[in-house]
């Protein structure tokens, strides 16, 4: 096993579950054969391509994306507690 893999496994053993989950999602986003449908996404418009590029750069720089429940909570908070059902 490479030293980097050993260090990664050592770090994961003590990391909180939320950090492990975020790390897994990040690693999956980097792998070309990942089953994540986002890896197959091809924007069709110029704006879509620019936004996709910004998203990919943000992920590569360590930004974590919100999960669907986190996104719903963010929208609820921004609406002053109103939840669209």
Closest to 30 (Cα-Cα) out of 50, 60, 51, 54 = 60
**What digits encode the pLDDT tens for the residues 22-41?**
888 888 777 665 555 555 78
Kindly give, in sequence order, each residue whose CB lies less than 8 Å from that of residue 36, ignoring residues fewer than 6 positions away: 28, 29
**What digits encode the pLDDT tens for the residues 68-83?**
899 999 999 998 876 6
Average confidence (pLDDT) over 12-18? 91
């Amino acid at each position: 096993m490479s030293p980097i893999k050993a260090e990664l496994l050592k770090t994961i053993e003590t990391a909180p579950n939320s950090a492990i989950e975020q790390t897994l999602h990040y690693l999956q986003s980097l792998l070309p054969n990942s089953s994540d449908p986002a890896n197959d996404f091809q924007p069709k418009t110029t704006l879509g391509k620019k936004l996709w590029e910004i998203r990919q750069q943000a992920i590569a720089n360590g930004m974590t994306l919100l999960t669907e429940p986190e996104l719903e909570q963010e929208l609820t908070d921004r609406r002053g507690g109103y939840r669209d059902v």
